Amino acid sequence: GSAFVLVASGFSQGSPHLLGERRPRGSRSGTRKQASTWAPLVALGSQDPRMKEKMKLNQKNNYMFLFLLFQGGPVEILPFLYLGSAYHASKCEFLANLHITALLNVSRKSSDSFKDQYCYKWIPVEDSHTADISSHFQEAIDFIAGGKILVHCEAGISRSPTICMAYLMKTKKLRLDEAFDYIKQRRSLISPNFGFMGQLLQYESEILSSTPSVAFPVLLYLPLYWMCF
């Protein structure tokens, strides 16, 4: 309860209704006066680049608090492959319950504390549409091949799902839309940025071009075969 009050107060300080408090009668006009008094300062602060950056950071932190507050556990992609966030990777109870033996961290920050307890790999990637994540696909796939592994980034929304999709596409020969739907059904909030999706699409074409298609010509000529009889 206390965590939610802290987050709610962060969204709008001076908004007692968010905290469950009743606004006294007659205070509405006072609130309007206070708002009109502070309005020039707020407008001035919003034009300051440092203030803008601070406001963005505070908003991001508030969203992250809410996200972590209502987040469940890691999701099973395959019996040996789990997808989650940095929050999940930091919780020993999650890892112990799932019998995780390896961690693949695809984020900006490395967690050195895990290196002594788990087989650990860190692939530093920014969650940016200009970041190159496809160059790490093969090393990630090779690492996933051993042990029971949790793949995570910071929020488990963009980078780590991208790695899991690449793994499914390579090892299970799934198309991008099939891999995306498969993971989306298990972790509904995934949303790889469009740069990552473009790289996955390119990866799909590379996989398909290297996969021998024997059955297709046979199926193509079956109708002609039956027409001869």
Catalytic residues: 153
Q: Are 140 and 174 in contact (CB under 8 A)?
A: no
Q: Which residues have C-beta within 8 Å of that of residue 206, sequence separation ≥ 6?
A: none
DSSP class per residue in 41-99: HHHHHHHSHHHHHHHHHHHHHHHHHHHHHT----EEEETTEEEE-HHHHT-HHHHHHTT
What's the rounded Cα separation, in Å, for the pair 177 and 166? 11
Longest alpha-carbon distance in the chain:
92
The contacts found for 209-212 with CB under 8 angstroms, 24 or more apart, are 211/173
CA neighbor of 121 nearest in space, from 104, 138, 145: 104
What is each CA distance from 205 to 133, 176, 192, 198, 200, in whole angstroms? Answer: 16, 10, 18, 11, 9
Question: According to DSSP H, which parts of the chain are helical?
Answer: 2-11, 27-47, 49-69, 86-89, 92-97, 137-144, 159-171, 176-186, 194-210, 215-227
- Return d(Cα 147, Cα 140) in angstroms, integer: 13
